[in-house]
Amino acid sequence: MDLPSGHYRILAYRDFHDLPRWMHVADGASKQWVLDCPFDDARDEYSQVYRIYAVEVDVEGAVDVWEWHALGVLPESGSLPVSALQFDATRRASFVLPGHGITRRDSKLPPERAEPWKQHRRRC
């Protein structure tokens, strides 16, 4: 499942350090996901990647989503570099995902999508 480019509302967040490290978000069509950027104890810093989980179960609110995520019930659908998100000024209300930066867990991207710059090289 791809996380499409576009504008996302942050419905709830936890673990704020410079930006939300766990978010329950929705797009314009009200499709919901959890984005989780866990703390890496070995490196003593947060990951540079959000793990993406699809919220496909009927949940009542952010507490239920947090519980479902903590129990491992939400299916992981990929990952996304933290740097791909363009947050609003507060870094708490919304963000924009300008392109398809997701790395899918269930398939390998074809070479033309994984390295699009190679499609447009000039030949000398």
User: pLDDT tens digits for 25-56?
Assistant: 999 888 899 999 999 999 999 999 999 998 97
Whole-model pTM: value is 0.73
Query: Please, are residues 90 and 1 in contact by the beta-carbon 8 Å criterion?
Result: no
C-alpha 31/C-alpha 7 separation (Å) is 12
Label residue 72 by pLDDT band (50, 70, 90).
confident
